[in-house]
A = this chain, B = another copy of it.
Amino acid sequence: MEAITKESIANWFKGLQDSICHSLEELDGDASFEEDLWDRPEGGGGRSRVIKNGNLIEKGGVNFSAVSGPTPEKILQALKLPEAEFFATGVSIVLHPNNPWVPIIHMNVRYFEMSNGIWWFGGGIDLTPHYVIPELARNFHQHLKNACDKHDSNFYPKFKAWADDYFFVKHRDETRGIGGIFFDRLSDSDGRSKNQQWQFVKDVGNTFVPAYTDAVSELRNKSFTEEDKKWQKLRRGRYVEFNLVHDKGTKFGLDTNGRTESILMSLPPEANWEYSHTPETTLQKQTLESLKKGIDWIQ
């Protein structure tokens, strides 16, 4: 077995970005990704890839980065550690579809290490349907559970609950969508080797394409009305609220002078706000009732 170095992890993530972009272009059938290469003044850089006005995807990004340098003060404070160098690499994805029946999807897989020997993996995949359809929610969660169960039968329940807690729009008292899995600081402190954790993270990364392909297949050609489009834009407004008010990754990126355009690629092409909007259809009402923590989507 090859040694798991930060270089080998970053290289695998680069390959993941390549293969996901390739699959998404095929799935979209029309638009292609455009790439921006960027350097971070303090060390490292990234490959931001964005897609827009596609057949399926209205606006999306699949970003890779591998950054390094002195550890940001905020991390040192949180960890109560003296100065050290850090290295962080990962792939982040957010896709906003045209069709309101198709869900928004987000994935992140990442690796972090410091010159003092500390390292961990983190990541997750979660789905934000504008309209929640239980059967499709079950199918999505089944993909995630399958990926988890290959590694540890405790992973899915633990990381599913973690996603419920993390992707929560507190000021609206609703979850961002139907959740998924979220995990952070996976190291060898819980009795699993670095290789075991890495295999799990790789499987999560590899789950993105089949899970998303299934999530869109039945819905992408479903016809929609102006009312559906309006509802989509209101739900996108909540997505903006979560990302800008609550998302720790976004906040950390902006606080530490990250590349703003890459961080905010998660924002939708168009979002609406209406004062005290109330749902107008049964499906809209059911959707809001489904935005709760603790729902067992698989059963």
Contact = CB atoms under 8 A, between A and B. Distances in A.
A34 to B, nearest CB: 8
A264 interface: yes
A61 interface: yes
B275 A272 contact: no
A127 to B, nearest CB: 21
Contact of A237 (B172, B241, B267): B267
A244 B240 contact: yes
A274 B261 CA distance: 9
A275 B61 contact: yes
B260 A171 contact: yes
Interface size class of A (residues with CB under 8 A): 20 to 34
Interface of A: 36, 50, 52, 59, 61, 170-172, 233, 237, 240-241, 244-245, 251, 254, 260-261, 263-265, 267-276
A275 B254 contact: no
Nearest to A50: B275
Contacts of A265: 275
A276 B274 CA distance: 27
A199 to B, nearest CB: 33
A245 B59 CA distance: 22
A233 B268 CA distance: 12
B273 A267 contact: yes
